[in-house]
Amino acid sequence: MLEKNVRENLVCDGLVPIKEAAGFLGISVGSLYAMMGRGELVYVKLGRSRRIPRRALVELAAKFLVSHEET
């Protein structure tokens, strides 16, 4: 489980609906749910709804960022 300060930092920039998160990453909603299921992407569950911390999306995208020198 994530520490309290790590959890708070992840959600401080707000939460994004699933469809918007998938659009941000350029992947399907199904792929996003699969990433969440594998534990590759954290999410917040509010009742039956799930939301993705905006910061988690940015960190995930940055993790896979490739520069010209790395290709």
Which residues span the domain enclosing 43? Answer: 4-70
Burial classification of residue 11, based on how many CB atoms lie within 10 Å of its CB (0-12 exposed, 13-18 middle, 19 or more buried): middle
Q: Structure tokens of 29?
A: 């909603």
pLDDT surpasses 70 at 38: yes
- Count of structural domains within the chain: 1
CATH number of 38's domain: 1.10.10
Residue 69: the pLDDT is 73
Residue 14: other Cβ atoms inside 10 A? 10
pLDDT surpasses 60 at 71: no
Q: Once rounded to an integer, what is the mean pLDDT over residues 1-8? A: 78
Q: Structure tokens of 12?
A: 């401080």
Q: Once rounded to an integer, what is the mean pLDDT over residues 17-28? A: 97
